[in-house]
Amino acid sequence: MGQSQSSMRTPLGRVRGLGSAKSGTEHFWLQRLTAVANLPLSLFVIGLIISTAGSNFAAVKATLGSPLVAIPLLLFVISAAWHMRIGMQVIIEDYVPAEGPKVALLLANTFFTFAVGIGCVFAILKISFGV
């Protein structure tokens, strides 16, 4: 009666140290990490929105031109997009039973997140550099 009798893991699973889903723990920790990062970054963005509310475009452009504003804003966009992608991926994997639609939705989720993230990064950099 060796370890193979008391464990339900396959020999390959024991060697790799992975569970049945292969990446569940990684997704769990990445989602928690981005959630923790989003807390102070969200507070920064809320403060930025409040401080620039009612300002004209030139004032907002000058504010976003500062690296002390643009860099945390970029970090927020990247962290929020990553967090959104992981969260939607988990929802799709859990609630879409058919493989075909699941794969299509996972691809759409990745492309949508990438498009939104790149669009936001481009807009922030364009305003920040004054191009």
User: Rg for the chain (alpha carbons), in Å?
Assistant: 21
Residue 121 belongs to a domain:
yes
Residue 93 belongs to a domain:
yes
The pLDDT, as a whole number, for residue 28 is 87
**CATH classification at residue 79:** 1.20.1300.10
Residue 69 belongs to a domain:
yes
Structural domain that includes position 91? 23-129
Residue 37 belongs to a domain:
yes
Structure tokens that stand for 42 in this block: 């969200």
The pLDDT, as a whole number, for residue 4 is 46
Domain count, the chain: 1
Over residues 42-60, the pLDDT tens digits come to: 999 999 999 999 999 899 9
The more confidently predicted of residues 10 and 77 is: 77
Over residues 76-128, the pLDDT tens digits come to: 999 999 999 999 999 999 999 999 999 999 999 999 999 999 999 999 999 99
Residue 62 belongs to a domain:
yes
Residue 14 belongs to a domain:
no
DSSP the chain: --HHHH--S-HHHHHHT--TTSSHHHHHHHHHHHHHHHHHHHHHHHHHHHHHTT--HHHHHHHHTSHHHHHHHHHHHHHHHHHHHHHHHHHHHHH--SHHHHHHHHHHHHHHHHHHHHHHHHHHHHHHHT-
Structure tokens that stand for 84 in this block: 């959104």
Average pLDDT, the chain: 89
Residue 101 belongs to a domain:
yes
The pLDDT, as a whole number, for residue 14 is 65
Residue 12 belongs to a domain:
no
The pLDDT, as a whole number, for residue 70 is 96
